[in-house]
Structure 1
C-alpha cells in the first residue's frame, strides 16, 4: 500500500473531473435552451465523454493497484466503497424525482462501485488484469457481448434512455488496464512529479467525488435562476 500520493494519478483525476464539469456545463446549456448542440450523443460529444470515462477508469484501476496491490486494506476499501455506493443511490433517487422517464440506474458511480468489487481481487495480478481488460474490450468491439449486459433481461422495466449509463462492457476492461498501468515502474516513478510545485493542480483530483456530486446541482440552480430572471 503506497503512503505517498502519486502526483500523476491526482493530475489525471483532475483532468477527468475538469472535463466532466465542462461536459455537464455544455449539456446544461442545451437542457435550458441556450444552445441547440446535440449533446451528449452527437458527433464528437460522445467521443468527448469517452475520453472522460477512460481517464476516470484508468485512475480507478491504477488506484486499486497502488493502494491494494501488496495487501488489500479492507477497512479503507470498504469505507470508500460505502461512500461511492451511497452517492450512487442518492443520484438514482434524485434523477428519479427530476427525470422519471430518463432516470440514472447505472451511471458512473454505480459502475465504479461494481467495478471496484470485481477488480479488487485482481489488484495484485497486473498481467492477468491486462489480459482480462483486452478480452473484455475485444468481446464488446466484436459485438459478442452487449453493452447493456446484465440489464438485457430486465430492459423492458428500465428507461429506454438514461441520462447517464456506463456499461460493464467495455468499461470494466479499462479498469483492468488501469491496474496494469498502476503496476508499471514508469507510473510508480510518478512521471509528472515535477508539477508538484503547483499543488493546486492536484486539488480537484484529490476531491473528485465531492466535485462530481456538487457541480451539477450548482449548475442547475444557476441556470434555473437565470431562466427565472
Structure 2
C-alpha cells in the first residue's frame, strides 16, 4: 500500500488535498493492520488476523482506498498527456520495491513468500490502466465488469498465476488478485472525472499547519510501505527481549 503513480494536480497546479488525505487514511489503517498482525506474530494476541471475520474486510477497505486513489491519480496526472519518462520512472520505483518485498519475504518466510502483493499490483495496474485515464464511462463499465466476473467464479482468485508458474505457495502473506481489484482502479479513474473530486472538497477546510502533517504520509507512501514493517518488527523484537 503506497504512494501512487503521478501526483494528481488541480488545474491551478495545487495538489488535490482530498486524494492526499485518502492515501494518508489508507496508510494509517495499513500501519494499524500490520501492527496488530505483528502483535499476533510475537504471540501477544491470538486474534484471527489477517483472514478472520472483520479483519479480511478491514483489509478490503484499505486496498480499496489505495486503488481508488491510484485510478483517480492516473486521471489527474495523465488525462491530457502521458509523460512517459516520469511514468516509467515511477513504475520502475514501485517495481523495485515489489522485487525487494519478494526477495525479503522469500528469505524470511519461504513457505509464504509474497509473489504478487500490493506493490506488484500497483505497478501492473498503472501500466494497464493509464491508457484509460481520460475515458471515465468506459473505465466505469470495465470496473464493474471485473467485479461481476469475480462474483461469477469464472476465474479462480489466483488467476493467472496458477497458469504461469509452478511451485508458488498455496498461501502468501500478501496477495492481490487482479480480478476483481483491477476493477477498483478503473472505478477510481471514473471517480477522478467527477466534479465532486475535481472541486477537492477538503481544499481549504484543514488548518495549514495540521494539513502539512496530515498529508505527509499520503505523499511518501512508498517509503512508508517499505520501512514501517521492519521498524515495527525490530521494535517489538527489542521489547520482547526486555520483558522476557
Query: Which range, TM-score by smaller chain?
Result: over 0.9
Over residues 111-134 of structure 1, what are the superposed CA-to-partner deviations in whole Å (9 max), with x where a residue is unaligned? Answer: 000000000111111111111000
- Within 2, Cα distance between the matches of 1:118 and 1:154? 19
Find the counterpart in structure 2 of residue 135 from structure 1.
Answer: 145
Aligned with residue 218 of structure 2, among 190, 194, 205: 205
Q: Which runs of 5+ in 2 are unaligned?
A: 1-7
1:82–1:156 CA distance, 2 compared to 1 (3 A): closer
Tell me if structure 2 keeps the 8 A contact 1:104–1:165: yes
- Within 2, Cα distance between the matches of 1:55 and 1:24? 16
For the pair 1:50 / 2:63, whether they are aligned, the reply is no
Find the counterpart in structure 2 of residue 126 from structure 1.
Answer: 136
For the pair 1:224 / 2:234, whether they are aligned, the reply is no
For the pair 1:173 / 2:186, whether they are aligned, the reply is no
- Structure 1 residue 195: deviation in Å? 2.0
Find the counterpart in structure 2 of residue 106 from structure 1.
Answer: 116
Aligned with residue 91 of structure 1, among 98, 101, 104: 101
1:118–1:196 CA distance, 2 compared to 1 (3 A): farther
CA RMSD of aligned residues (A): 1.2
1:94–1:63 CA distance, 2 compared to 1 (3 A): same
- Structure 1 residue 141: deviation in Å? 1.1
For the pair 1:66 / 2:79, whether they are aligned, the reply is no
Q: Which runs of 5+ in 1 are unaligned?
A: none
- Within 1, Cα distance between the matches of 2:124 and 2:165? 19
- Structure 1 residue 225: deviation in Å? 1.2
How many positions carry a matched residue from both structures?
Answer: 229
- Structure 1 residue 36: deviation in Å? 0.4
